[in-house]
Amino acid sequence: MSALWYPPFSLFLPRLPRLPPRTEAFARLVLFGLMLLVAGLPVSDALAATAHHSSHGKHRHPSAKKKRTVAKTPSKPARRKAAAARPAHQRSAHHRAKPHARREVTKPPRPAKTAGKRRSTGTPRKAVSKVSRVAGTAGAAGANKAAPAQARTTAKPRLLARCGFTPASRKRLFSRAVYIVDEKTRTPLFSLNANQVRPIASLSKLMTAVVWLDRGPAMRTPLTVTNADIDTLKFSHSRLAVGSTLSRADMLHISLMASENRAAAALSRDYPGGRAAFIAAMNAKARALNMPNTRFKNSTGLSPRNVSTARELAHLVRASNGYPLIRRYSIDHQQRVNTGKGQLQYVNTNRLVRYGKVDASVQKTGFINESGHNMVMRVMVHKRRPVIVTMLGSDTPEGSRLDGVRIAHWLSCSLR
């Protein structure tokens, strides 16, 4: 029976005499197991060694394992779906607990300062020297900043090329004689034939107003136009008819603002000593204002022998600014006067002032054929800095106006 249990191995197992068949079969089975165990040890060792070498060949860096682990983390949409799948009370608990965890990780408690590291209240010697060095540096910086500011205030004004003051732009001026001077510093900013003696036409009325106001007359006294006031030199037209009666103030007003010739003639005739005394007073005033090349033959400027220079007219404009009535009347836009025969409306002959293109405190225009179109102004640059501009000899009134616009741009851009 035992041979039936293990027929393949019966030839290799020893025979056990004096044992029952069953016991002998069991003993042979145990011996067979021992033989298998002994024979299998080398094979198991070989398999273990092979497994060990193969595991070392496929070994990777820990960072790679970490990357692979990170890559396997679920994406944001997956996490959102998972969060949406959770019950509401779990989601709220998760969101409430998350900030606390982040706060614990990102904000560790700061270590307390030890008492041993505290310094005494007295300032150390090194700190005092450092403070003094910083103060000295700050003082030097303040002095350096103050120096350029003082240099800017004391520097002479000038017209800048970036503001259009270029040779090409200066050649495009229509006036034949131009003089620009900064009144505050008396610095000439531009000069073109400034010393050339030329007829000045109705610019003479500024001197007429100065001499008339020096007398200190009663301005409300009426004054009547007569035949003696008619222009017999140029036979120019006037809106004031003979017999018209105006106050002296109105005569001066329309003489300066609208360049009314008969009004200026009436004022010179009303002067003590007559018209001759008035003309003499005008020439005396010119000498007093340091205008040696200036001559006056009448009060209206219709005579071509009323002459001056662009430079000397700047003295007259500066002097005229000292009379409040001249400042008020010369820059007024319009005035309605009662002549006793009706009312007349007058407007300013200077379109730059009349339409507010230039801010001026004193102005006057003038024209006769011999002089061309003339203009003088005391321009207030940025409403605070006075600059005197005199322009003589433009062929057209438009040319004189364009020169005024160009010069006003130079001044507003260049001066501060």
Residues carrying an active site annotation: 202, 205, 259
Buried b (16+ CB within 10 A) or exposed e, 155-169: eebebeeeebbeeee
Structure token digits, residue 383? 């409403």
107 known member of a binding site: no
Q: How many CA atoms lie within 13 A of 209 on its CB side?
A: 34
CB atoms within 10 A of CB 275: 17
DSSP 226-257: -GGGS-SSS----SS-TT-EEEHHHHHHHHHH
| Cα 131 to Cα 137: distance, rounded to the nearest angstrom | 10
Query: Rounded to whole angstroms, what are the CA distances from 316 to 73, 116, 119, 284, 361?
Result: 93, 84, 76, 13, 14
| Cα 320 to Cα 285: distance, rounded to the nearest angstrom | 12
Listed in order, strand segments (DSSP E) in 131-227 are 177-182, 187-192, 198-199, 222-224
* Cα 388–Cα 211–Cα 235 angle in degrees, nearest 5: 90
Sign of CA dihedral 163, 168, 172, 176: positive
Q: Which of 155, 151, 165, 153 is nearest to 413 (CA)?
A: 165
CB atoms within 10 A of CB 135: 10
State phi, psi for 134 to the nearest 5 degrees.
-65, -40
Binding residues for substrate are: 364
Binding residues are: 364
